């Protein structure tokens, strides 16, 4: 479109080439006791191409993982959850499948910091809130890293 006040879309100063976020098709288990967090993360990851199972009960999520440990390629979980904290769940996951990729997301924790999480075998520790770019890049990095 051209005319007074219009410019060619290719030359519009606010129009930039958007760099796409890293994508994948792996199967991800998302666990957070906040249903809205699970819904938001599930929608985001599905938009990036992943197949996602979202759960709000850590104990049930761990049972699901143990029933079919090969059904998932990655677990993303919150640290602070009732009945089973993220670090405890990660220990159990890694007992079932040593070296399995786990990302721990948290808004605040006094009980666990990043060095402690990594020492447990958790592959990445992300503080909430995080950006789409941060989580997308972290997922790809964790999934391609061999331990």
In a domain, 49, yes or no: yes
In a domain, 11, yes or no: no
Residue 146: the pLDDT is 56
In a domain, 8, yes or no: no
Residue 109: the pLDDT is 65
Q: pTM here?
A: 0.84
In a domain, 15, yes or no: no
What is d(CA 89, CA 134) in angstroms, rounded to the nearest whole number?
Answer: 23
Task: Tally the domains of the chain.
Answer: 1
3-state secondary structure of 84: coil
Phi, psi of 114 (to 5 degrees): -60, -50
Residue 5: the pLDDT is 39
Residue 9: the pLDDT is 41
Return the closest-CA partner of residue 86 out of 55, 52, 112: 112
Residue 111: the pLDDT is 77
Alpha-helical segments (H) within 7-131? 35-47, 58-67, 86-96, 114-120
Residue 22, judged by CB atoms within 10 A of its CB (0-12, 13-18, 19+), counts as middle
Q: Name the DSSP class of 99.
A: T
Assign residue 104 the CATH number of its domain. Answer: 3.40.50.2300
In a domain, 9, yes or no: no
In a domain, 109, yes or no: yes
| Mean per-residue pLDDT pooled into runs of 10, the chain (147 residues) | 38 50 97 97 97 98 98 97 96 97 86 88 93 96 81
In a domain, 7, yes or no: no
Residue 8, judged by CB atoms within 10 A of its CB (0-12, 13-18, 19+), counts as exposed
Residue 39: the pLDDT is 98
In a domain, 47, yes or no: yes
Q: Which domain holds residue 32?
A: 23-144
């Amino acid at each position: 479109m051209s005319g007074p006040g219009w410019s060619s879309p290719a030359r519009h100063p606010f129009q930039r080439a958007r760099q796409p976020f890293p994508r994948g098709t792996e199967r991800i288990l998302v666990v957070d006791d906040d249903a809205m967090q699970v819904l938001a993360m599930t929608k985001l990851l599905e938009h990036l191409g992943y197949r996602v199972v979202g759960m709000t009960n850590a104990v049930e999520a761990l049972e699901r993982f143990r029933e079919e440990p090969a059904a998932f390629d990655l677990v993303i979980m919150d640290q602070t959850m009732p009945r089973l904290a993220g670090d405890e769940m990660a220990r159990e996951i890694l007992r079932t499948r040593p070296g399995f990729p786990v990302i721990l997301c948290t808004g605040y924790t006094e009980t666990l910091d990043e060095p402690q999480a990594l020492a447990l075998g958790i592959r990445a520790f992300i503080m909430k809130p995080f950006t789409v770019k941060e989580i997308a890049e972290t997922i790809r990095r964790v999934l391609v890293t061999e331990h």
